[in-house]
Amino acid sequence: MSSIAIIPARGGSKRIERKNIKKFNGKPIMVYAIELALKSELFDEVMVSTDDDEIAAVAIANKARVPFKRSAENANDFATLAEVLIEVVLKYKEQGKTFDTICCILPTAALITQERLKEGYQKICSEKFNSIVPVIKFAYPIQRALKNEDGLLKLREPEHSDTRSQT
C-alpha cells in the first residue's frame, strides 16, 4: 500500500504574510509538518505543494519533495484545498505514480502529534473510511462548523461549504 503526505503551502498568505515560512519556536512553521510526516514513517512520499520558490527551497532543505510547482489557478485566494489535492494527485498520475492513501497536513499545524497522525492513519486503513479530519471546538467561522449525525460529520450549514473565511 503506497501513501503520500501532501503539505499545501502557497506563497500568497493574506492574513499573515509568508506565514508558511515564518519562524515558530526557531524554525519555519511548515518544517514541523514536514518533520512529523517524515518521522512517522507512514508515507512513501512527503511533498510540499507550492507556487513559491522560497517555500520550495525550505521544503527541499528539510527533506520534503517538490516535484512540480502548483499552478497559478490553484495558488490564488479562491482555490479550495480539494482542488489543490486533486491537482497534486493528477500531476503524480501523469508521472506514472499513484497512491492508495493520501494525507493532507496543513503547513501551520505545528502542534500535531505522532500519536494523532498514526491514529488517523490506522483508522483510515483499518476501518475503511473515505477520509478523516481532525475536529475541535471553535468559535469562528461558524459557517464551517460540523455536527455529528449518526457517527458521521456533516456540515452544520452546507450552503456555506465554499464560503471563504477571509475577506
**pLDDT band, very low/low/confident/very high, at 164 (cuts 50, 70, 90):** low
Q: Is the pLDDT of residue 7 over 60?
A: yes
Predicted pLDDT of residue 16: 85
Can you give the residue ranges of every domain in the chain? 3-134
CA 81 to chain centroid, in Å, comes to 8
First-to-last alpha carbon distance for the chain, in angstroms, is 41
Predicted pLDDT of residue 3: 95
pTM of the model: 0.83
pLDDT tens digits, one per residue of 32-71: 999 999 999 999 999 999 999 999 999 999 999 999 999 9
Architecture of domain 3-134: Alpha-Beta Complex (3.90)
Average pLDDT over residues 144-167: 76
Predicted pLDDT of residue 132: 84
Average pLDDT over residues 148-161: 81
CA distance 82 to 113: 23
CA distance 113 to 40: 10
pLDDT tens digits, one per residue of 12-39: 887 888 999 999 999 999 999 999 999 9
Spell out a b/e string for 81-112, using b for 16 or more CB atoms within 10 Å of the CB, else e.
Answer: eeebbebbeebbeeeeeebeebbbbbbbbbeb
Please tell me the number of Cα atoms within 13 Å of 144 on its side-chain side.
Answer: 12
pLDDT tens digits, one per residue of 78-118: 899 999 999 999 999 999 999 999 999 999 999 999 999 99
